[in-house]
Amino acid sequence: MDLFEFTRAIVDIESVTSNEAGIGEFLFRHLCPLAAKYGGRVERLEVEAQRFNVFASWGTPVVTLSTHMDTVPPFFPSREDDNFLWGRGSCDAKGIIAAMICAIEELLAEGISDLGLLLVVGEERNSAGARVAAKTPRGSRYLINGEPTENKLCVASKGALRFELQARGRLAHSGYPQLGQSAIDALLDVLEDIRRVPLPEDSLLGKSTLNIGTISGGRAPNVVADEARAELMFRLVGDAGPVREAVQNAVAARAELREVLHTPVFQFSAFDGLPTTVVAFTTDVPTLQATWGTPFLIGPGSIHVAHTAEERIAKRELRAAVPIYTSMVKRILASHAPAPGKFQ
């Protein structure tokens, strides 16, 4: 399969977070002949039942290409026109997987080795795959992580702080609401106070933001709700501490607040010759960088269409990503000794 065919093939495998087994098996089988041909190996790194990362290596990996196999819901299959490939995961991040594998095929055909490919599960939810990978390093000294950056090198990314919020009430007939206590009313009051929390700004990363991603609760329209829930995500531009404290104060024991994820703001190393950008999303990099090497973040596709019903990736950008990845790997391998950080 060529680059576009391969992208469509993996887009058409539904892999919403927690359901990555199908794409994991497909990619494992696809990489095995490549490993056999060039003296490499492919491993399944178990994360939990029916969920595993895929790691392929040739030689002793100095540099590892990495991205994630899971997508956000809902799934919708691929299609294409003259300029774009469409479908869930086309830019976040299955097109990136295809570009990385094509780059590795080209590098191996040129006799270049000492490289790896790490494909993880769970990035879209809680970095479950990255956390497992961080505990099982393979000696890599540099990590090229792929996310949609329009083929620009990311110099900084926002952090994330995610909470689950649960309010409890007392059931009653809706004709007599005074006999109960509405958990939904309580939840809405708390959410309104959280929305009024002032959020910090940064000259490079811009404003911190809040997204109330899910709300659920209640039993029926004629029943006073005894339970309600919400999930919140803050995109941070600095220390999480003040935001965490402000949220706790806003909730003020009116509901149960549980922090489920914190990813810090991250500053990336420079890499000469590539256009740069900053991004408002978070990645697996903060989880992986301590054990998988100096990280770089770059990939084809626009984050503005990721997670939307219009997700797509420009064919020209996808095609351009392959030589970007091959060039980065070659330059890193040529100058990986001492002085980390900046490549000439």
Tens-binned pLDDT, residue by residue, of the chain (344 aa): 899 999 999 999 999 999 999 999 999 999 999 999 999 999 999 999 999 999 999 999 999 999 999 999 999 999 999 999 999 999 999 999 999 999 999 999 999 999 999 999 999 999 999 999 999 999 999 999 999 999 999 999 999 999 999 999 999 999 999 999 999 999 999 999 999 999 999 999 999 999 999 999 999 999 999 999 999 999 999 999 999 999 999 999 999 999 999 999 999 988 999 999 999 999 999 999 999 999 999 999 999 999 999 999 999 999 999 999 999 999 999 987 544 445 55
The residues annotated with a catalytic role in the active site are: 123
Q: What is the spatial distance between Cα 55 and Cα 35, in angstroms, rounded to a whole number?
A: 11
Burial class (CB in 10 A: 0-12, 13-18, 19+), 301: buried
Asked whether 284 and 145 are in contact (CB, 8 A), the reply is yes
- Residue with structure tokens 């099982």? 136
Looking at residue 337, its pLDDT comes to 54
Looking at residue 343, its pLDDT comes to 56
Sign of torsion, CA 343 129 242 202? positive
> Which pair of tokens denotes residue 190?
């708390």
Asked whether 331 and 273 are in contact (CB, 8 A), the reply is no
Looking at residue 340, its pLDDT comes to 47
How distant, in Å, are the alpha carbons of 14, 120, 285 from that of 76? 8, 21, 27
Pairing of strands 153-157, 276-279: parallel
Q: What is the spatial distance between Cα 27 and Cα 7, in angstroms, rounded to a whole number?
A: 12
Q: What DSSP assignment string belongs to 44-79?
A: EEEEETTEEEEEEEESS-SEEEEEE--BPSPP---E
How distant, in Å, are the alpha carbons of 169, 209, 266, 299 from that of 158? 36, 10, 7, 17
Pairing of strands 63-68, 142-145: parallel
Looking at residue 342, its pLDDT comes to 52
Q: What is the spatial distance between Cα 50 and Cα 107, in angstroms, rounded to a whole number?
A: 31
- The alpha carbon of residue 32 and the mean position of all alpha carbons in its chain are separated, in whole angstroms, by 25
